[in-house]
Amino acid sequence: MELSTLEELIGYCFVDKDLLRTAMTHSSAVNEQKAASNQRLEFLGDAVLQLSISNHIYRLLQEENEGVLSKLRSLIVCSDSLYKASDNIRLSEFLILGKGEEISGGRKKKNILADAMEALIGAVYLDGGYKKADVFVQHLLDGIIKNALDGQLQYDYKTMLQEYVQSRNMGELSYELVKISGPEHAQVFTSRVCIDDRIFPGAKGQNRKQSEQNAAESVLRKWKVIE
């Protein structure tokens, strides 16, 4: 799929086309494409995204305290939100993947698409500056932001568990990465919840963040905090 089509879908035309190509290049394709991956752009895009959303809800919700603003931001700036937004611009069609990742279904993996979204934001920032990146973020996540403000999005499981544990003074909550298994292009991460000296069964995910979310969800279901 031509990257010019992606420019049309996102409503932004890059001056430096190489930035867009890099944003779409997954680490699995580096050797085959002889090109840089999108990991550095992902790092930058995450910071731009955090600032853009923080600034937006800070100005919009002038009566709310820091705790409420933090919760709203965590709802908006998460893998689930980025994954949903990626579908709106058909991002999966433009990913540049290695053969192994392509075969293993990389175009449908939440973490790959969410990371590519952050990389795309970083690329827009480098190409056009913060103002254009900010407009891009607001347009990209407009529906998600509105749903969050209307209370139609749920907190992520790690946030829910943290609040539950803190409200009951149950101890210090942490997550332990138990193991990483599988081939490099399709690794499986296993993490478990630890609360003081209590250790709970591990849960798997496509990356560390997802495995921690799944581990938190497991504990919440065990305690019947969620059904």
Burial of 167 from C-beta contacts in 10 A (0-12 / 13-18 / 19+): exposed
| 42, 101, 115, 118: the active-site residue | 118
Q: Based on the residue annotation, tell me whether 63 is a catalytic residue of this protein.
A: no
Burial of 161 from C-beta contacts in 10 A (0-12 / 13-18 / 19+): buried
Whether 205 contacts 191, CB under 8 Å: yes
User: What's the rounded Cα separation, in Å, for the pair 44 and 123?
Assistant: 8
Whether 41 contacts 122, CB under 8 Å: yes
* Closest CA relative to residue 110, chosen from 220, 205, 218, 219: 205
- Alpha-helical segments (H) within the chain: 3-10, 17-23, 30-33, 39-60, 66-76, 79-88, 99-103, 110-128, 130-140, 142-149, 157-167, 208-222
| 42, 46, 115, 156: the active-site residue | 46
Whether 125 contacts 45, CB under 8 Å: yes
Which amino acid type is present at position 226?
A: I
Q: Based on the residue annotation, tell me whether 46 is a catalytic residue of this protein.
A: yes
Whether 78 contacts 159, CB under 8 Å: no
Q: Which residues are known catalytic residues? A: 46, 118
